[in-house]
Amino acid sequence: MKAKVGKLLEEAQKEIASAGSLKELDEVKVRFLGKKGRLTALLKSLGELSPDDRPAAGQAVNNARKSMAMSLEERAGSISAEERARDSEEQKADITMPGVSRRRGYRHPISLVMEETLDIFQGLGFSIRQGPEIEKDYYNFEALNIPKNHPARDMQDTFYIDTDTVLRTHTSPVQVRTMESESPPMRIVSPGKVYRVDFDVTHSPMFHQVEGFMVDEGVSFSDLKGVLTQFMLQFFGESTPVRFRPSFFPFTEPSAEVDIGCVICGGAGCRVCSGTGWIEILGAGMIHPEVFRSVDYDSEKYSGFAFGLGIERLTMLRYEIDDIRLFFENDTRFLSQFG
């Protein structure tokens, strides 16, 4: 019996070793260890032996089974490894060929900068309001202390629809509209398109502005400086120099122009900053009492500041774009450079 087992084991080892695939190996397993397998048959024939011989023979069969199982497992391992190696060799890719994906689209740079601007102001507690682009002369000018026939109207060349209706020249009308319908405290930014009769490398007849204003008791010019400095540092970087200098807008008093150190030359003086080292970014000021009067706010009780910034200008500075017309040609080779 023992010899029989030994011979069977030897035969099995040989077949295991020569099995070329997992399938063949499985067939070997079935032939020896399956229900009708040869080793299984030997095990069944143990009953024919004398009771004295049985334990030893049983032991031998069991050992042979273990040994076969171990060989099968080992062989399976090495067959898998061989197959993996063969597959890898066959499927080797030229990984420098281009990847395959759907081409994505791009956001317009004006939108990117507009969204970033609004996000910064929302973080500073400002809410968003919108107003019409076709606007009454009253909201665009009169209520903002710019009467008809005032030279300040020259600052904004206006598109007219009729004598009383204009394309808004700034987003400031939203200031008046909001103050008419809500009461302080308020912190508002108002984004949108504005229009002026002006068309060259640095002026577009349509552009985007964000108007912002805050009204409450005790709002001061130093608060205006704080909020706008925060914006500049967040938008242009923490080491950006910021300066405030006197200016004039009919709807603010005192009025200020806000400059940053030239982002192109770092303040040394270049073509972009006309050699001054500074770049004008936005206009601002304390809301004029005449504006408060037009919305029935008590300027003794409330004070506030307002500012207006041009999104095209911010975008041009950020990406060093020198021709504003590029924004409205919508050349996809231009648009795909942002975002």
Partner 1 sequence: MKISLQWLQEFVDLEEKPQQLAEDLTMMGLEVEGMAEVDGDNIFEIGVTPNRPDWLSHLGVARELAALYGRKVRIPETGVTEGDLPVEAMSSVEIEAPDACPRYSARVISGVKLGKSPENVRRRLEALGVRSINNVVDATNYVMLELGQPLHAFDYSRLRENRIVVRKAVEGEIMSTLDGQKRDLDDGDLLICDGLGPVAIAGIMGGENSEVEDDTVDLLLESACFDPVTIRKTSKRLGLSTDASFRFERGTDPSATTIALNRLARLINEWAGGSVCSGILDLHPRVEGERKVRFRPVRVNSLLGTEIPVDSMESILAGLDLEPRKGKGGWWTVSVPGYRRDIAREEDVVEEIARIYGYQKVPITMPIGRTVPVRSPEQRKLVHRVKSLLEADGFFETISFSYVSRSELDDLGLTGGPEPVKLINPISEEMSVMRTSLLPGLLNSARFNVSRRVEEIRLYEVGRVFLPCNTCNIAEERMRVSAVMAGNRCPKTWYGEGKRADFFDVKGAVENLLRGMGIEDISFSELDMPYLQTGQGAWVMVGDQPVGPVGTLDRDTRERYGIKGWAGCFELDIHRFQDEALKISPYRPIPKFPEVLRDLALIVPPMVKAGEIKMTVMDAGENLRAVHVFDEYRGKGVPAGHRSLAFSLHFQSPERTLTDGEVDRNMVGILKVLKKKFGVKLR
By CB under 8 A, what part of segment 92-111 binds partner 1?
Answer: 97-98, 100, 102-108, 110-111
Considering beta carbons, is residue 86 or 325 the nearer one to partner 1? 325
336 binds partner 1 (CB under 8 A): yes
Q: What end-to-end distance do the CA atoms of the chain give, in Å?
A: 81
Considering beta carbons, is residue 37 or 283 the nearer one to partner 1? 283
Report CA torsion sign: 141, 142, 145, 149: positive
Q: Which residues in 241-270 contact partner 1 (CB under 8 A)?
A: 243-248, 250, 253-257
Considering beta carbons, is residue 8 or 214 the nearer one to partner 1? 214
Residue from 20, 47, 51, 218 in contact with partner 1 (CB under 8 A): 218
Of the candidates 146, 180, 112, which has an alpha carbon nearest to the alpha carbon of residue 338? 112
Residue from 91, 96, 181, 222 in contact with partner 1 (CB under 8 A): 222
23 binds partner 1 (CB under 8 A): no
Q: How far apart are CA 246 and CA 109, in angstroms?
A: 31
Q: Which residues in 178-217 contact partner 1 (CB under 8 A)?
A: 185-187, 193, 195, 197, 199, 205-206, 214, 216-217
Write the DSSP string, 101-120. Answer: -PPP----HHHHHHHHHHHH
Q: What stretches of the chain show up as alpha helix (H) in DSSP?
A: 2-18, 22-33, 38-44, 54-90, 109-123, 137-140, 173-181, 221-236, 289-294, 311-319, 326-329, 332-335
149 binds partner 1 (CB under 8 A): yes
Residue from 151, 181, 296, 320 in contact with partner 1 (CB under 8 A): 151
Rounded (10°) CA dihedral 138, 143, 145, 147: 20
Considering beta carbons, is residue 44 or 103 the nearer one to partner 1? 103
Report CA torsion sign: 236, 242, 247, 251: positive
167 binds partner 1 (CB under 8 A): yes
- H or E element: which one contains 211? strand 206-216
- Distance from the Cα of residue 284 to its chain's centroid: 30
* Placement of tokens 């070997």 in the chain: 28
Residue from 65, 129, 168, 177 in contact with partner 1 (CB under 8 A): 129
Q: Which residues in 298-327 contact partner 1 (CB under 8 A)?
A: 303, 327
Considering beta carbons, is residue 32 or 195 the nearer one to partner 1? 195
Q: Is 200 helix (H, G, I), strand (E, B) or coil?
A: coil
Q: Are strands 165-167 and 160-162 parallel, antiparallel or unpaired?
A: antiparallel
Considering beta carbons, is residue 15 or 137 the nearer one to partner 1? 137
Compute the least distance from the CB of residue 111 to partner 1, in Å.
Answer: 6
Considering beta carbons, is residue 250 or 310 the nearer one to partner 1? 250
Residue from 41, 56, 81, 134 in contact with partner 1 (CB under 8 A): 134
Compute the least distance from the CB of residue 207 to partner 1, in Å.
Answer: 10
